[in-house]
Structure 1
Amino acid sequence: MDMMTHLTGWEFAALACAALLVGFSKTAVSGANTVSLAIFAAVLPARASTGVLLPVLIAGDVLAVLTYRRHAHWPTLWRLFPAVGAGVVVGTLFLLWADDGAVRISIGVILLVMSGVTVWRRRTAETGEPAEDTGSRAGRLKARSYGVLGGFTTMVANAGGPVMSMYLLSAGFRKLGFLGTSAFFFLIVNVSKLPFSVGLGLVDGDSLLLDAALVLFVVPGALLGKWAVHRIDQKLFERLVIAATVLGGLQLLLR
């Protein structure tokens, strides 16, 4: 099915806004693209939405890496990647089994769970709990746990952002280190997911044609995020993101 010709003007506008938000989230508020996920899954079939969204996310990742490349912490990245790879494999096996309804319900549940994770992460940050030593045994175990969960959620629903956000903040990352490390993390992970998504039929010529149009909206979103990162009221924005994500998750479950 040709997605471009079957979309109404309002549906394309919604996807364009979601693509703009992807760019904004990559350079300003990591994890905010869960709203984009909900929009894509509402406009497109659930399985197809994950394939269309992936190249849009990669475009945002490239822009984020270009912006914050000097602030990445590579020891943290190398610690996470093996567990993330295992999670991606588990997510791929799930997608081989799941039909569109199961994927839609899974995305809805993941959105709601990630919303709860984000609320918990914000409250933990506000209490000023000390950061855990990522090199300790407990720190390595935590990295593996978050890595597997992040790999699974990013493969099934492109929703690994809140999981990784919570891990990086709990590890004591400041804003620029957080953005630089997460930028490289998601670029590498999302590019590694491409062969799996192509093999599952989620990314094909039809989806890439739609992506070519949507990527144009990622760039202004990233520029807006770069401008706003030092000016944005973070707490208010996160509350709006959480509310929109919960509504999106409920919409998918009740659809």
Structure 2
Amino acid sequence: MDFSIWMLSPSDWLIFFMAALFIGMSKTGIQGVSLLSIPLMAMIFGAKPSTGIMLPILCFADLMAVLYYRRIAEWKYIFKLLPSALIGVSIALLVDKVIPPEEFKQLMGICLLVVFLFMLWAELKGKENNISAHWWYAPSFGILGGFTTMIGNAAGPVLAIYLLSMKLPKYSFVGTNAWFFLVINYLKMPVQVIVWNNINTSSLILGSLAIPFVVVGGISGIKLVKKLPEKGFRYFTIIMTFVSVLLLII
């Protein structure tokens, strides 16, 4: 058992629990907020070790979101994304030891920003996003999502941009998001245990302490989704996604 991760200051514990709150809020409604937890976790535990601590927390939050939105999901979009997402995960494993993850995060952030700006332009002009009809559109987002989720649990804005471009109603958006990440994050668990060896007994116990904060965040996210009208939810998600993309670039 690694006891070093328990040597946290009071401020570190506060940041850790705040990150868990953000994760819960993101999974049940406030898309993009979980990306704020990535630099917070990395600041406490280091970049790669933090992904092992964060993943079990994400898995619990995914399960909570799916239990609530279990009957609301557009499975055709999930099936379009999953095969290429697994390819993205495999690519991340291959290049992990060659190129620093931060450089890839910035590259992905720039790519996402270009796609996001195009989608926003189509939104403001009231035009259809014709690019989304092409055969390569969904697989491209799947690869981006699989890659970014593996190198830093940072696929939230990738899926958000894709689902926004599909113009899903708010509950379908959140439910589809929840199911996609439930599948992909649980598939990542054995990879990080066996290949990266950054999930162990200590990280699981530490993650369990975050559960109450994930639950509070999840309930807050559910309440906010209920209060927001369809257009308000869409605009709020666009703003939070934009902030998330900027965080990848910075």
Please show how residues 161-176 of structure 1 align to structure 2 within 5 Å: 161-176=156-171
Give the 3 Å change call, closer, same or farther, for CA 161–120 of structure 1 in structure 2: farther
Moved more, 186-195 or 122-131: 122-131
**Deviation digits for residues 36-64 of structure 1 (CA, Å, limit 9, x no counterpart):** 11211222210001111111111111111
Gaps of 5+ in 2: none
**Deviation at 1:65?**
0.8
Residue number in structure 1 paired with 2:128:
130
Residue number in structure 1 paired with 2:69:
68
- For the pair 1:214 / 2:217, whether they are aligned, the reply is no
Alignment partners' CA distance in 1, 2:148 and 2:244: 19
Residue number in structure 2 paired with 1:90:
91
The AA in structure 2 aligned to 1:143 is A
Give the 3 Å change call, closer, same or farther, for CA 8–231 of structure 1 in structure 2: same
Gaps of 5+ in 1: 251-255
- For the pair 1:202 / 2:226, whether they are aligned, the reply is no
Alignment partners' CA distance in 1, 2:32 and 2:202: 27
- For the pair 1:49 / 2:44, whether they are aligned, the reply is no
Aligned-CA RMSD value: 2.7
Moved more, 35-44 or 234-243: 234-243
**Deviation at 1:66?**
1.4
Alignment partners' CA distance in 1, 2:72 and 2:143: 24
Residue number in structure 1 paired with 2:223:
227
TM-score, normalised via structure 1 length: 0.83
Identity of aligned residues (%): 31
Alignment partners' CA distance in 1, 2:131 and 2:245: 31
Whether contact under 8 Å (2:122, 2:129) holds in the other structure is no
**Equivalenced residues, count:** 244
**Deviation digits for residues 109-164 of structure 1 (CA, Å, limit 9, x no counterpart):** 65676567656544543333325596x5x1x3101111011100001110111111
Moved more, 223-232 or 239-248: 239-248
**Deviation at 1:2?**
1.9
Whether contact under 8 Å (1:47, 1:103) holds in the other structure is no
Residue number in structure 2 paired with 1:185:
180
SS of 1:173's equivalent in the other structure is: coil
TM-score, normalised via structure 2 length: 0.85
Pairing partner for 1:152 from 132, 141, 147: 147
